[in-house]
Amino acid sequence: MRGRRSLPPRGGARPTLRRSRRPAGRRAPARSPSAGGGSRPGRAIAPQRSSSAPQGAPGRPTVRAPAAEDTTRKSGNTSGRSPSTLSSRSGGGARGAGTGPRRGGPMELAAMRAVPFLRNLPESALEGLGSRLRAVEREAGAVLFHAGEPADTMYFVESGELEALLDLDGEPLARLGPGSFVGEIALLIDQPRSATVRVAATARLWELSRSDLDGLLDRHPLLALELSRELSRRLVATSLRVASAPAVQCTGVHGDPVALARVLDAAEPGRIALAVLPGATVPASVPDSVLVVDATAVDAEGATALAREGVPGRGRLLLLLPPTPSPVTTRVLGLCEYAVAVGAVPPWLEQDGRPRRVLRCDGSRPSLERVSRWIRGRAIGLALSSGGSKAVAHVGVLRVLREMGIEIDALAGTSGGAVVGAGYACGLGEEELVARLRELARSLQLRHGDFNLLPRSALLKGARLRHLFDTQCGGRSFADTTIPLWLVASDLATGREVVIDRGPLADGVRASMSMPVFFNPWPRDGRLLIDGAVVNPLPASVLRDAGIRRIIGSNVAGQESRLEPGPSGRIPHVLQIVSRMINSMEREMLKVQVPLVDVMIRPQVNIGYAFDFGRIGEFIAEGVRAARAGAGDALARLAS
- 94 vs 234: CA distance, rounded Å: 28
State whether the Cα torsion 501-505-507-509 is positive or negative.
positive
- 302 vs 545: CA distance, rounded Å: 30
Q: CA angle, corner 235, sides to 337 and 338, nearest 5?
A: 5
Residue 87 annotated in active site: no
Strands 291-294 and 181-182: unpaired
**SS3 per residue for 450-514:** CECCCCCCEEECCHHHHHHHHHHCCCCEHHHCCCCEEEEEEECCCCCEEEECCCEHHHHHHHHCC
Q: Are 349 and 339 in contact (CB under 8 A)?
A: yes
- 298 vs 327: CA distance, rounded Å: 11
Residue 364 annotated in active site: no
Strands 196-209 and 134-138: antiparallel
Strand 249-254's sheet: what is its strand order? 16-19, 43-46, 62-64, 291-294, 272-276, 316-320, 249-254, 338-342, 358-361
Amino acid identity of residue 42, one-letter, is G
Q: Are 141 and 199 in contact (CB under 8 A)?
A: yes
Q: What are phi and psi of 198, to 5 degrees?
A: -120, 150
Residue 114 DSSP symbol: T
- 491 vs 499: CA distance, rounded Å: 10
State whether the Cα torsion 355-358-364-365 is positive or negative.
negative
Q: Are 389 and 612 in contact (CB under 8 A)?
A: yes
- In 8-85, where do the E strands start and end? 16-19, 43-46, 62-64
Identify the three-state secondary structure at position 157: strand
Q: What are phi and psi of 207, to 5 degrees?
A: -100, 135
**SS3 per residue for 190-232:** CCCCCCEEEEEEEEEEEEEEHHHHHHHHHHCHHHHHHHHHHHH
Q: What are phi and psi of 112, to 5 degrees?
A: -70, -35
Identify the three-state secondary structure at position 84: helix
409, 531, 598, 612: the active-site residue: 531
Partners of residue 326 on adjacent β-strands: none
Q: CA angle, corner 419, sides to 414 and 425, nearest 5?
A: 100
* b/e 451-487 (16+ beta carbons within 10 angstroms → b): eeeeeebbbbbbeebbebbbebbeebebeebbbbbbb
Q: Are 59 and 13 in contact (CB under 8 A)?
A: yes
Q: Which candidate, 121, 601, 129, places its Cα nearest to that of 398?
A: 601
Identify the three-state secondary structure at position 244: coil
415, 512, 514, 561: the active-site residue: 415
List, by residue number, the catalytic residues: 415, 531
